[in-house]
Amino acid sequence: MASKSDLDEAAQADAAPRYVLKAPYTAGTQWQAATTAYLLMRPNEFPRELRHTHRNIPMLYQVEADGLALDTPAGRFERCLRVSGTATVRVYADPTSGWKDLPLLTREWYCRGVGLVRLERQENANSPFLTGGTMTMELDSWQ
């Protein structure tokens, strides 16, 4: 596996294997993988996105539940896993607050025979010098 940012000329190989899901696929299974800040930005700087300066943030993932049913625009799916991920990124928030640890939260739903069907990402900034937010992606068609 490798990854490439907008600032990299070529993809950078991962130092160790990266897991998207780790067996056994049951509640309680945990693993760690690198993430970055996708939504946090500094509106008055370039590049705006923190993902260019804060790479490889360790995120702890855990299967929260298995055997779930999930409704999406693509239909209803059975036998799904819900995975949560938590990480923190240390940033200089503003002159009043100084340095802060901001949470990066992810929830993902994987369904047997389909894969990732929903992802929710939350990166709140609560600072006049940073913007953040929430993003939700859902599968809208599948055959």
pLDDT value, residue 114: 95
* Per-residue H/E/C for the chain: CEECCCCCCCCEECCCCCCCCCCCCCCCCEEEEEECCCCCECCCCCCCEHHHCCCCEEEEEEEEEEEEEEEECCEEEEEEEEEEEEEEEEEEEECCCEEEEEEEEEEEEEECCCEEEEEEEEECCCECCEECEEEEEECCCCC
Query: How many Å apart are CA 40 and CA 122, to the nearest integer?
Result: 10
pLDDT value, residue 29: 96
Query: Does the pLDDT at position 8 exceed 70?
Result: yes
The model's pLDDT over 37-96, given as tens digits with 9 standing for 90+, comes to: 878 877 666 665 665 565 668 899 999 999 999 999 999 999 999 999 999 988 877 777
pLDDT value, residue 65: 97
Query: How many Å apart are CA 53 and CA 122, to the nearest integer?
Result: 19
Query: How many Å apart are CA 95 and CA 100, to the nearest integer?
Result: 11
The model's pLDDT over 95-123, given as tens digits with 9 standing for 90+, comes to: 777 888 889 999 999 999 999 999 999 99
